[in-house]
Amino acid sequence: MKVLLFFGLVAFALADVTRFEGDKVLRLKPVLNEHVKVIRELANSVQLDFWTPENAEQVTVGMSVDIRVPAQYLDMVFTVLQQSGMQLEVFIDDVQEAVDRQIENKGSPRAHSYTKYNTWSDIESWMNSMATANSDMISKEVIGNTYEGRPMVVLKIGKKSGSTKPAIFMDCGFHAREWISHAFCQWFVNEAVTAYGSDSQMTSLLDQMDVFVLPVFNVDGYVFTHTNNRMWRKTRSRNAGSSCLGTDPNRNFNAGWCTTGASTNPCSETYCGTTPESEIESKNLADFIRKNKSIIKAYITIHSYSQMLLFPYSYTYELAADHDELMAVAKGASSALRSLYGTVYTSGPGAPTIYPAAGGSDDWAYDLGVKYSYTFELRDEGQYGFLLPESQIKPTCEETMLAVKYIAAHVQKNLY
């Protein structure tokens, strides 16, 4: 009886895992207003997963549009697109195969691996170990719990001193499926500690400043991508009056909240929530930054994909007061990144560079008074999208470190 019960539970768990056999990721190139209309009408009639931009309303003439089309809708979608004359290309032929290939079977390393996509439990254990083993450099603070009760842990990195130091805040993993983002924060923490004492720039930075790192912002969503649905993006909160779960946390901040590039529909991937900071994760982060507003001089948030380095604003086309300086720093950081592997990034304010989107944490931080506010969209440009193979973690993190160090050096020299 116990054996039957066990296998019954296993079968139930497996039945709840979303599979993507036969799904394809298409890149569309709308060059006419009619093409934009076709894409929006398709989105209203079938369940499309927008990879970039993040919803149909953000589609404009001339942009590249990446969508995941479930297998059961492919014939209809191909027919409609071909009739429209729109240019299309198949970027991922079978999404499930890409999901399976993303994780390379190297066995389970004894030590924490910085070239694997680690689970939340692995990351949580790693944070505890790092703080214990490097108590002179790392302290740990739980800034609150997620909707499902998991801790949101910030690591404070810097040489301990008797006085309060200026700081940089960096977070990863706003959107659950952007796994390369979570990998970078782990890489950064390890690199910072390892390089201290041998790398003059990192040593100077950590002597004079602290770096707050939140390795996983959307913990509940990240867990869900490992256990149930690799393509999950939002948080996991329950929405009153709807069977659809979760909010897009990067539409949930008080920065032009829900005015553009966001949705009031709880089933949308860009649902903005009921009010700014309605998500407990957003409020925990905002409260921490507000509490430390006097010392936080830069805010860096790591996302994927598109290979872009963005800064305010995304909720308006108006230029930020510090536009010229922010652009110069972004271009310098992008150049530093490109110097390693030749990876090309596009730099600019969010709205004209990628698409308008209200309620983002970077715009909110900037309006709060954090001058150097940047969003990274890491590799790639769509070949793998959110399913970047583990073999690309190392080069992605190595080149991104150069850009982050460039920004940090500028902040360190231009404290305000």
Active site residues: 377
Let me know: does 263 contact 55? Beta carbons within 8 Å: yes
Q: Which residues contact 129 (CB under 8 A, 6 or more apart)?
A: 112
Burial of 348 (0-12, 13-18, 19+ CB in 10 A): middle
Give CA–CA dist 220/316, Å, rounded. Answer: 30
Name the stretches of the chain with pLDDT < 70.
1-15, 105-108
Output the pTM of the full model: 0.95
Angle at CA 292, nearest 5°, toward 291 and 298? Answer: 135
Per-residue pLDDT, 8: 43
Q: Which residues contact 108 (CB under 8 A, 6 or more apart)?
A: none
Q: Which residues contact 207 (CB under 8 A, 6 or more apart)?
A: 158, 159
Give CA–CA dist 36/237, Å, rounded. Answer: 32
Per-residue pLDDT, 13: 44
Domains by residue range for the chain, with CATH: 24-96 (3.30.70.340), 120-413 (3.40.630.10)
Per-residue pLDDT, 262: 96
Let me know: does 378 contact 302? Beta carbons within 8 Å: yes
- Cα-flanking dihedrals φ and ψ of residue 308, to 5°? -135, 150
Per-residue pLDDT, 162: 85
Per-residue pLDDT, 361: 98
Per-residue pLDDT, 309: 98
